[in-house]
Amino acid sequence: MTFVRRPWRLAAEASALLIALIVAFPLYWMVLSAFKPAGEIQSTEARPWTLSPSLDSFRRVFEQQEFGRYFLNSLLVASVVVIASALIAFLAATAVTRFRFRFRTTLLIMFLVAQMVPIEALTIPLFFLMRDFGQLNTLGSLILPHIAFSLPFAVWMLRGFVKAVPEALEEAAYIDGASRSRFLWQILFPLVFPGLVATSVFSFISTWNDFLFAKSFIISDTSQSTLPMALLVFFKPEENDWGGIMAASTVMTVPVLVFFVLVQRRLVSGLGGAVKD
Amino acid sequence: MSGTTAAARRGGGWTPWLYLAPALVVLGGLLVYPIYQLGLISFLEYTQAQVSGGEPTTFKGLGNYATLFEDPQFWQVLLATVVFAAACVLATLAVGCALAVLLTRVRAVPRLALMTAALGAWATPAITGSTVWVFLFDPDFGPVNKVLGLGDHSWTYGRHSAFALVLLEVVWCSFPFVMVTVYAGIRAIPGEVLEAASLDGASQWRIWRSVMAPMLRPILVVVTIQSVIWDFKIFTQIYVMTNGGGIAGQNLVLNVYAYQKAFASSQYSLGSAIGVVMLVILLAVTLVYLRLLRRQGEEI
C-alpha cells in the first residue's frame, strides 16, 4: 500500500519480524530440545543453542515403545478420515447447492448446528456404542466418529466452492450428453478439488490431534494406540523425560507441518473463498 | 436459480437424496444417535455396576441434574469455563485482527515470515503445543523463568497463572486462523475504497472502524463464532498442561470435568448430564449465530 508513510512501514516490518520470531520460538525450542543431549536439557542454564546435537532422545522415543507402529496407526486413521469425509462431503455439498428440494434449508441449518456439537461430550455414548459393536480397541473406533465430526464443517465449507462453479458449465455438459455422474466426477470434482484440499486440512488436523478418543476407546490393546498416547508415556510422576517428550512432539508435529506447507497456498485462497461465499 | 428448464431439472427427484445418503447415514449413526443416548444416560442411574451388568439400570428422572446443580463445584467449573473461553476468544480475536492489519502494511518478506510462523503454530497439534508450552514455562528447565528471572516459580501451581499459561497456548495456536481469514477478507476489499478514505484524511483507526470493520463483518462473525465454539470445548490443553484439571481440580473446565466424572470415577450419568449442559449452551450460541446470519441477509 503506497499511502503508508515510510518510517511507519519500517516500524511495522520490524514488529512483524519480531512477532514472527516470538511465534516461531516454541517450535524452535521444541526441535532444539529434541536434539539437545540429556545433560544440557537437565541443565538449569537453558541455552538457546546446542553445540553437540545428539539423536539420543529420538532413539529413546523409537526404541522405548512401538512408536513406529503408533505413527503408522495415526497416519492410517487420519488418511482414511480425510479421504472418506472429503468424498462424502463433496457429494452432500453438491446435493445442497446444485439441487432444490424439500428440507434443503432445514438440512443446511442442521449441518451448521451439527458443527457446534461438542464431540467431547459424546465420548460417553460413543464409548458404549463402540463397545456394543465390538469396536473398542480398534482403529475403527477412532476413524468412524472422526468422519462424522469432520463432515458438517466440510459440507458447510465446500458449499461455497461448489456454488462457485458456473451453472452454464453444467448446462453445457448435459447438452453435450454427459450423464449426471460423469459431470459429477469428471467436471465438478476436479474444479472443486482446491476446496477439498482446504477442507481436508481441518479434518486431518482434528483427527491427527485427537487425544480424547484415543485415550477413551483404545483401553487395553496398545498395538492400536495412536501418537498422542505414546507421547504421554514420557510424562512421569517423579521426573518428566523432557528430551523424550520434545523428540516425540517433534515427530508428531512434522507430518502436519509438511501437510500445511504442501497445501498452504490453497488453504489461504480456499479460506478466502469460503468466507467470501 | 434462473430459467424454468433449469428449475425443473434442479429438483432432481431422488438424486440429491442419493448424494446425501452417505452423509446422512454417518451423521445419523455417529452424531444424532449418540446425542439421543447422551440424553438418555443423563436420566438413568448409570455407574460401573450397571455397565458391568451387576445391577439393573434404573430411571432417575432429573435426579442427576439435581445432584449436579446442588454441587457447588459444578457452578464453579461452569463459571471458570465461561470466563476462560471468553478471555481466550477476546485475546485470539484481538491478536488475530491486529496482525492481519499489520500484514497488509508490510512488504513481502516480513509478511512471508509472519505467515510462515503463524502457519507453524496453527499446524502444531494441540497436544504437542501443550507439552512445548509447559516445557517453556517449566520451573526448573524452562527458558522463560530464566529470562524473566523468576527462579523456580511454578506457573501451574496457582489457579490464575495456570489458566493464564493455557490461555497463552490457546491464543498461540488459534490466532493464525483468525489472522489468515481476516487478512484474506481485507485483501478482498477494493484498494480504491481504502485509498479514498485515507485521501479524505481518515486516520488508520478510523479507516479500520468505519470502513474495514463493516465490510469485514460477515468474516468477523464467522471467526468469532468459530472461536467461541473451539474455546468453549477446550479439552486437550487443560488436560495436558494442568495434568487433568489442576491441583484439586482448580483448573477444570466443563469438558475435562465431564471426562473425569465419567471415566475416572465411572459416574457415566453425571458425566452425560454435564455433556447435555454443554450441548445446550453451544446450541444457544448457534442460534445467535443463525440470527446474525439471517440479519445479514445471507442466503443459505
Please indicate, yes or no, if residue B255 is contained in any of the structural domains: no
**Partner-chain contact A211 B127, CB within 8 Å:** yes
Question: Which pLDDT belongs to residue B4?
Answer: 39
The pLDDT tens digits for B201-245 are 888 788 888 888 888 888 888 889 889 988 998 999 999 999 888
Q: Is the pLDDT of residue B7 over 50?
A: no
Domain assignment present for residue B279? The answer is: no
User: Average pLDDT of chain A?
Assistant: 84
Q: Name the DSSP class of A120.
A: G
Range of B112's domain? Answer: 87-250
Number of domains comprising chain B: 1
- DSSP H helices, chain A, are 6-35, 38-42, 56-64, 67-98, 104-116, 123-132, 140-164, 167-175, 180-182, 189-209, 212-217, 227-232, 242-276
Nearest CA in chain A to B220: A275
B104 with A1: Cβ contact below 8 A: yes
Q: Among partner residues B27, B199, B258, which is closest to A114 by beta-carbon distance?
A: B27
pLDDT category at B186 given cuts 50, 70, 90 is confident
Contact list in B for residue A8 (CB cut-off 8 A) is: 105
- Given a cut of 90, whether residue A24 has pLDDT beyond it is yes
- Specify the pLDDT at position A4: 54
Establish if B102 belongs to a structural domain: yes
Is A205 a residue whose pLDDT tops 60? Answer: yes
Interchain proximity B106–A19, CB inside 8 Å: no
Q: Does residue B80 contact residue B65 with C-beta atoms inside 8 Å?
A: no
Residues in chain A closer than 8 A to B193 (CB atoms):
none
- The gap from C-alpha B215 to its chain's centroid, in whole angstroms, comes to 24
Sorting pLDDT into bands at 50, 70 and 90, what band is B23? very high
pLDDT per position as a tens digit, A105-116: 889 888 888 888
- Answer whether A179 touches B (CB < 8 Å): no
pLDDT at A276: 41
Q: How far apart are CA B292 and CA B209, in angstroms?
A: 19
B266: in domain: no
Inform me whether the C-beta atom of residue A257 falls under 8 Å from chain B C-beta atoms.
yes
Q: Rounded to an integer, what distance in angstroms lies between the CA atom of residue B284 and that of residue A102? A: 26
Contact at CB, A96 and B116, closer than 8 angstroms: no
pLDDT at position B110: 93
The pLDDT of residue B3 is 39
Can you tell me the ipTM of this complex?
0.84
Among A100, A145, A259, beta carbon nearest to B11:
A100
| B30 inside domain | no
Task: Please report the residues numbered 121 through 150 in chain B whose beta carbons come closer than 8 angstroms to any beta carbon of chain A.
Answer: 121-129, 131-133, 135-136, 138, 140-143, 146
Selecting from A33, A104, A212 the residue whose C-beta is nearest the C-beta of B135 gives A33
pLDDT value at A151 more than 80: yes
Mutation target vs A (from B5, B17, B19; most A CBs, 10 A cutoff): B19
**Which pLDDT band, with edges at 50, 70 and 90, does A9 fall under?**
confident
Mutate one of A123, A133, A239 to test the B interface: name it (highest B CB count within 10 A). Answer: A123
Residue B273 C-alpha cell reads as 448430564
Rounded to two decimals, the pTM is 0.86
Which one of B185, B255, B271 has the shortest CB-CB distance to A118? B255
Read off the pLDDT of each residue in A215-225 and give the average, rounded to a whole number. 83
pLDDT at B9: 52
- Looking at the complex, report in whole angstroms how far the Cα of residue A20 sits from the nearest Cα belonging to chain B: 4
**Cβ neighbours of B11 in A, within 8 Å:** 99-101
CB A100 to CB B275 under 8 A? Answer: no
pLDDT(A212) > 70 = yes
Which of B18, B131, B259 is most worth mutating to test chain A (most A CB atoms within 10 A of its CB)?
A: B131
Return the pLDDT at B189.
84
Beta carbons within 8 Å of A268's beta carbon, 6+ residues apart: B180, B184
B contacts of A16 (beta carbons < 8 Å): 102-103, 106, 110-111, 113-114
The larger pLDDT score, comparing residue B74 to residue A256, is at: B74
Q: By the 8 A CB rule, do A256 and B124 touch?
A: yes
Q: Mean per-residue pLDDT for A23-37?
A: 92
- Computed on alpha carbons and rounded to an integer, the radius of gyration of chain B in Å comes to 24
> Taking CA atoms, what residue in B is nearest to A237?
B243
Which of B10, B136, B222 is closest, CB to CB, to A275?
B222
Is residue B209 in some structural domain? Answer: yes
CATH number for the domain harbouring residue B163: 1.10.3720.10
Q: Is residue B237 part of a domain?
A: yes
Least confidently predicted of A34-43, A203-212, B182-191, B264-273 = A34-43
Residue with the larger pLDDT of the pair B174 and B48: B174
Minimal Cβ distance to B11: which of A33, A101, A261: A101
Chain A residue whose CA is closest to B280: A117
pLDDT tens sequence across B117-147: 998 998 898 999 999 999 999 888 888 888 8
B22 contact residues in A (CB cutoff 8 A): 87-88, 91-92
- List, as ranges, residues 174-213 from B with C-beta within 8 Å of A: 180-181, 184-185, 187-188, 191, 194-195, 198-199
Lowest mean pLDDT among A38-42, A131-135, A141-145, A263-267: A263-267
For residue B105, is it within any domain?
Answer: yes
